[in-house]
Amino acid sequence: MTEQLTPGLYVAATPIGNLEDLSPRALRVLHEAKVVAAEDTRTSKLLLTRAGSAASMVSLTEHNVGAKTSGLLEVAREHVVALVSDAGTPVIADPGARLIEAAHAAGIRVIPIPGPSALSAALSAAGFEGSDAHFLGFLPRPQAERLRRLRVAAATASVLVFFESPQRLGRTLRELSEHFRDPEVVVCRELTKVHEEVVRGRASDLAQRFAVTRGECTVVVRCAPAAAEPGADAVVREYMAEMQRAGARRSAAAAEASRKFSVSRQSAYEFWDST
């Protein structure tokens, strides 16, 4: 006989489209939960029905999380409380961080139930080396603020990932083309759903393709390296040679060279072979 779950706050990932992605472990958590907290209880109610759950539901939004936290934690001391997202892994792009923070502070066990995430799914399908990725969530609507946020992130990361509405996707891709040296981009639209698309190309080309589109969109950008100063290649090559002679790890040396000389990590990584 399977033992009952330990009381606590379970942070459970839910499908981003295809219901077959709901894990058996997440199903069990929903089935045994006393309370399930979700931003949109209408969406999550379907999952509770699928799990045969009798849990009560609490709508948890950025406006009421402060008022709801104490009650949820009181239940979590003796029962299973599940925090779920409308789609995907909680807290990445929806409320809940303050609830989890309060649970830690109160000594209540927090248990992650991993699973679907548009962020990890898009990175896995993009084909860009993603160990230096910067996630931006939803971009700001004002153009100046949006470009500023992209520039700051692009200065320190080799890959950017963000969510964008279908109405603004074409505009944002045009801005990437005009202000960021037309980088390679992967647009993931309607991930795991019937009309799923994963399309890779230059930002300028994809701006035309997605000028009018529908559905939920996740965008992955391979940052174009900053324009190098004359002779920069020789400097970076010599630095990588010094690191190699010193016994440094290739990946760590490339990361430091990227920061120190404002070149891409991939460029510095390739100089290792030429030393």
Residue percentage of the chain with pLDDT more than 70: 95
Same domain for 147 and 47, yes or no, is no
Separation in Å, CA 128 to CA 83, 123, 222? 31, 7, 7
Same domain for 172 and 240, yes or no, is no
Number of residues that make up the chain: 275
Q: For residue 111, what pLDDT is reported?
A: 98
Statement: residue 1 has pLDDT above 60: no
Same domain for 80 and 133, yes or no, is no
Q: How confident is the prediction for the chain on average, in pLDDT?
A: 91
Domain membership flag for residue 186: yes
Average pLDDT over residues 189-211: 97
Statement: residue 16 has pLDDT above 90: yes
Same domain for 54 and 145, yes or no, is no
- Residue 50's φ and ψ, nearest 5 degrees, are -65, -35
Statement: residue 207 has pLDDT above 80: yes
Q: For residue 228, what pLDDT is reported?
A: 47
Q: For residue 236, what pLDDT is reported?
A: 84
Q: Could you read off the pLDDT of 117-174 as tens digits, one per residue?
A: 999 999 999 999 878 899 999 999 999 999 999 998 988 899 999 999 999 999 999 9
Domain assignment of residue 269, given as a range: 232-274
Structure-token match 């324009």, residue found: 227
Q: For residue 107, what pLDDT is reported?
A: 98
Same domain for 98 and 137, yes or no, is no
Domain membership flag for residue 122: no
Looking at the structure of the chain, the number of domains it has is 3
Domain membership flag for residue 34: yes
Statement: residue 229 has pLDDT above 70: no
What is the end-to-end Cα distance of the chain in Å, rounded? 61
Statement: residue 261 has pLDDT above 80: no
